[in-house]
């Protein structure tokens, strides 16, 4: 991975170890390099173009704009109540990551939605797309905020927990 060879990443890692940088900034740098590498060299280059149903550009843009604000705000309030830092001054810790998430949510969410459509639901209807899109954007927002505020280990644990709950729901729904 090209991101692992970045001198800036190594420099920031050393600054974190010396206590001169916050671990949150290091995680954000790693995420930016990882997603940049992913977007530029791997998944996005081999996938078809971003999928937006024909004639639905305006509604999709409206959903993206609304969820770019609502997703991070809702996720931040939810995470605030579950956070181990909920008694500390919450606004200084989460406001910056919430603003970053307002940029991450629509961009990464649209890529995730396109991958979902191409991999699992290639014949999706326009209405179904517009119903699923906000759910995907909310999930992306939640996981991005969780990653930026709680760390990689906590996010991986959360994803494992969510995957287990989804598997249980699938098992219950099967006849």
Looking at the fold, whether 130 and 96 belong to one and the same domain comes out as yes
Looking at the fold, whether 79 and 140 belong to one and the same domain comes out as yes
Looking at the fold, whether 142 and 64 belong to one and the same domain comes out as yes
Measured CA to CA, the distance from residue 163 to residue 50 in angstroms comes to: 26
Looking at the fold, whether 74 and 149 belong to one and the same domain comes out as yes
- Report whether pLDDT(134) > 90: yes
Lowest mean pLDDT among 7-16, 114-123, 154-163: 7-16
DSSP 85: T
pLDDT grade for 42, boundaries at 50, 70 and 90: low
Looking at the fold, whether 66 and 40 belong to one and the same domain comes out as no
- Report whether pLDDT(130) > 80: yes
CB 79 within 8 A of CB 145: yes
Looking at the fold, whether 94 and 165 belong to one and the same domain comes out as yes
pLDDT grade for 104, boundaries at 50, 70 and 90: confident
pLDDT (0 to 100) of residue 93 = 64
Looking at the fold, whether 58 and 107 belong to one and the same domain comes out as yes
pLDDT grade for 91, boundaries at 50, 70 and 90: low
- Report whether pLDDT(143) > 80: yes
Return the percentage of the chain with pLDDT > 90, whole number.
Answer: 10
Number of residues assigned to the chain? 175
| Span 35-62, average pLDDT | 71
Whole-model pTM? 0.64
Looking at the fold, whether 164 and 98 belong to one and the same domain comes out as yes
For residue 93, give both structure tokens: 């810790």
Looking at the fold, whether 61 and 124 belong to one and the same domain comes out as yes
CB 12 within 8 A of CB 21: yes
Count: domains in the chain: 2
Looking at the fold, whether 20 and 58 belong to one and the same domain comes out as no
Averaged confidence pLDDT in the chain: 75
- Report whether pLDDT(3) > 50: no
Range of the domain at 34: 1-46
Looking at the fold, whether 61 and 143 belong to one and the same domain comes out as yes
Looking at the fold, whether 93 and 138 belong to one and the same domain comes out as yes
pLDDT (0 to 100) of residue 171 = 77
CB 164 within 8 A of CB 172: no
């Amino acid at each position: 991975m090209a991101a692992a060879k970045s001198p800036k990443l190594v420099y920031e890692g050393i600054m974190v170890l010396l206590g001169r940088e916050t671990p949150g900034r290091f995680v954000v740098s790693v995420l930016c390099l990882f997603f940049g590498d992913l977007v530029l060299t791997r998944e996005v280059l081999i996938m078809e173009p971003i999928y937006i149903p024909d004639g639905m550009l305006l509604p999709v843009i409206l959903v993206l704009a609304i969820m770019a604000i609502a997703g991070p705000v809702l996720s931040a309030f939810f995470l605030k109540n579950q956070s181990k830092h909920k008694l500390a001054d919450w606004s200084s810790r989460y406001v910056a990551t919430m603003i970053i998430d307002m940029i991450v949510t629509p961009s990464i969410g649209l890529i995730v939605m396109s991958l979902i459509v191409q991999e699992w639901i290639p014949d999706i209807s326009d209405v179904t797309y517009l119903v699923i899109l906000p759910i995907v954007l909310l999930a992306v927002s939640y996981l991005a905020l969780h990653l930026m505020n709680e760390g990689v280990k906590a996010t991986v644990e959360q994803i494992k927990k969510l995957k287990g709950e989804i598997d249980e729901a699938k098992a219950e729904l099967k006849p």
